[in-house]
Amino acid sequence: MRVIILESAADIAVQAGNIFVELLKEKPDAVLGLATGATPVPTYKYLIDCYNKGKVSFKDAVSFNLDEYIGLNKEHPNSYYFFMMDMLFSHVNMRKDMIHVPNGVAEDIEKECRDYDALIEQFGGIDVQLLGIGTNGHIGFNEPSDAFSEGTYVTDLTKSTIESNKIYFPNGDMPTKAITMGIGSIMKAKKVILISTGHSKAKAIKAMIEGEVTPSCPASILQKHSDAVIFLDRDAASLLA
C-alpha cells in the first residue's frame, strides 16, 4: 500500500485522474473501475477537462461501477447510474453500451450479481479501480462485518452509512439495501486507487492503513493488494502516526 499525502482535493484529482489518462493512452480499451460519492467528483471534472483538451479518449474504454442502490432505476436522480452519467459519462466519448453499473431493479438480483462478475471477467478484469471510503471504513457498499465478501452481492446498509448518505434523499426515502461488487471483486483489480479527503474520514483512514486487516474495517484488506495507492489530503491523514 503506497500512501501519498497531498495539499488539496484538487491535487488528488489531478494525480488520480492522470493514472486513468496514462492508462487509456497505453491501453485505449482499458477496463475502468469507477466509484460514486462526493470524493471522486473533482477527479471526474479533471478527466472531462482532459477530454475537452484532447488529452484522453474514452472511445474504446469499458467501465464497471462498484455499486447501486436496490430499488432505484437508471432514471432515478439518486441512482448511481444517473450520477455517473451526470458527473462523467455524458461529458466524454464513452460508448453507452460499455458503461456498466449493477442493476438495482433487476428481476433476478442473484443472477444480476453473478452476471456482473462474469462480465468483468469477460472483459479481462478491471485495470484500475477507483475507490472512496465510508466513515465506517466501507468500500463500495461492503459494510463492516464478520467476514470479507467475495463477488458481487446484495447487502443491507448500516445505520452509519444511511446517516452519511441520507442528505441526498431529502424526502426520507433512502434505500436500505444495495448491490455492490464484493471485496473479492475489488481485490482482483490490477491496480486500486483509494482517494479520501476531510476530517470525517480520518478515523477510517487510520484503521485502514495502521490497523489490522479485519472485515470490521473492510478497506483494511487493501494492505494485502499488490498495487494499491492511497491519495489523502492532510485532514484525512491527520490521525496517521
Site of interaction with ligand GLP (CB under 6 A): 35-39, 66-67, 132-134, 140-141, 161, 165
Q: Which of 31, 4, 67, 11 is nearest to 190 (CA)?
A: 31
> Cell numbers at residue 63, please?
467501465
Nearer to ligand GLP, 55 or 83 (CB): 83
Report how far residue 176's alpha carbon sits from residue 174's, in angstroms, rounded to the nearest whole number: 6
Q: Which residues contact 43 (CB under 8 A, 6 or more apart)?
A: 12, 13, 16, 17, 130, 195
Q: How far is the CB of 232 from ligand GLP (least distance, A)?
A: 13
Phi, psi (deg, nearest 5) at residue 44: -65, -40
To the nearest whole angstrom, how small is the minimum distance from the Cβ of residue 236 to ligand GLP? Answer: 10
Active site residues: 67, 136, 138, 143
Which residues face 62 on adjacent strands? Answer: 31
By C-beta, is 12 or 35 nearer to ligand GLP? 35
- Shortest CB 198 distance to ligand GLP, Å: 8
Residue 23 or 236: which CB sits closer to ligand GLP?
Answer: 236
- Helix, strand, coil percent content, the chain, rounded in steps of 5: 40, 20, 45
Q: How far is the CB of 43 from ligand GLP (least distance, A)?
A: 11
Q: Nearer to ligand GLP by C-beta: 12 or 23?
A: 12
**Angle (nearest 5°) at CA 118 between 116 and 124:** 110
Q: Which residues pair with 99 in a beta bridge?
A: 63
Pick left, alpha or beta for residue 198 (phi over 0 → left; psi -120 to 50 → alpha; otherwise beta). Answer: left
User: CA 129, 95, 139: angle at the middle one, nearest 5?
Assistant: 20
- C-beta closer to ligand GLP: residue 8 or 93: 8
Rounded to whole angstroms, how far apart are CA atoms 93 and 79?
21
